[in-house]
Amino acid sequence: MKLHEYQAKTVFADAGIPTPDSQLASDVDGVVSAAEEIGYPVAVKAQVQVGGRGKAGGIKLVEDADEAREAADSILGMDLKGYHVDRVLVEEAVDFVNELYVGITMDRGEGKPVAMVSTKGGVNIEEVAEEDPDAIAREHIDPSFGMHPYQARKAVYDAGVDQSVARDVSSVLTTLYQLWDDKDGADAEINPLMVTADDEVIAADAVMNIDEDALFRQPELAEMEEEAAGGDELEQKADEYGFDYVRLDGNTGIIGNGAGLVMTTLDLVDHYGGEPANFLDVGGGAKAARIANALDMVFSDDNVDSVVFNIFGGITRGDEVARGINEALEQFDEIPKPVVVRLAGTNWEEGMEILNEDLVTVEQTLEDAVQRAVEYAGEVNDQ
């Protein structure tokens, strides 16, 4: 479960992490009222779970009521990378001199949680990790003992954080790990952790993702689940259909059966120069109606320009999948997105014969299917 920024900041603030004064608003008058109560300047921030909100026009800094009204009118109701914006966070603007990054996640390669600190905050941390991995200090934590104070200090020191704020940043990192551990977190990060001219540190953004399987022991967070899902109709639809679904930023839609198979397909899309639009696992034993629902979901994503369908038959029979694909596509007068299908395993030959090749492109191997789907998506972008 992904918390919205305002939800994560509430959790962080309750734990003692400094956050700016803020109020949630859902209409223009509410934005203006909140801004005047907080005091200008303020930031008006779209509450959707997607990166790059600022570049996409979802965050605006305003100096007075007229600008606040204009910003609210612009952001509320907008479509931000496929997400409908129905709420904004009106937040005290932070006058900062530096931006840091702190985060906690699970390093599955090491089998341990890892704390991360960088002086390159305020930008996409994945890009920093790829372009300048040494700019991120990492400290692995033994979950049996938790984060020792010296580990937090070491991570902050290794990152090159200025000595004047090192103690406060260490304190924030320690608290962040404790929250991650206590709340059954999957990821927790602050990007940026802003440093002011008075050497104060403030969490200007907040990310916290929770292990959904642990919500039974997190009743306070479970109450946030419905609001956390708000704003993304596709993820709500995935819950209704019972799919494992994660929306991404790319344009090549992916449907498969089994998390490992879907992850392999995502990696191949990236390998062949494409950008995955989603993770969608239809699970085992999928019948025709379930396959049709999966296609309906992916077709509903405006970011998707092509779809690759990767099914390995075990419990899920290839002929059932093929019928589901045909039934779904025959509902359309015109196929909205090109679909590439690769079937293997149980009854795959029967499935290949059943597939209507007037509606789909059929490939024998996964590599060929992914390359064809990436090509189709590229052709749409070139138009």
Q: Catalytic residue numbers? A: 101, 189
Q: Is 212 annotated as a binding residue?
A: no
Tell me whether residue 205 is annotated as binding: yes
CA angle 137, 140, 144 (to 5 degrees): 155
52 is in an annotated binding site: yes
Q: Is 251 annotated as a binding residue?
A: no
Strand 112-118 and strand 96-107: the pairing is antiparallel
120 annotated binding-site participant: no
Whether the Cβ atoms of residue 54 and residue 75 lie closer than 8 Å to each other? no
183 labelled ligand-binding: no
Confirm whether residue 285 is marked as ligand binding. Answer: no
Is 315 assigned to a binding site? yes
The torsion angle over the Cα atoms of residues 241, 243, 247 and 251, rounded to 10 degrees, is -90
| 91 annotated as ligand-binding | yes
Determine how many CB atoms are found less than 10 A away from the CB of residue 127. 10
Is 316 annotated to bind a ligand? Reply is yes
Q: What are phi and psi of 36, to 5 degrees?
A: -70, -35
Helix axes 288-299, 318-329, angle to 10 degrees: 50
| Backbone phi, psi, residue 211, to 5° | -65, 110
Strand blocks (E) in 108-243: 112-118, 136-140, 185-196, 201-203, 207-210
Which secondary-structure segment (H or E) carries 31? helix 28-38
How far is it, in rounded angstroms, from Cα 197 to Cα 97? Answer: 6
Residue 321, marked binder: no
Beta bridge mates, 329:
none
48 is in an annotated binding site: no
77 known ligand binder: no
CA distances from 55 to 60, 123, 308 (A): 10, 11, 29
- Binding site for Mg(2+), residues? 191, 205
- Binding site, residues? 45, 52-54, 91, 94, 99, 191, 205, 257, 314-316
- Binding site for substrate, residues? 257, 314-316
- Binding site for ATP, residues? 45, 52-54, 91, 94, 99
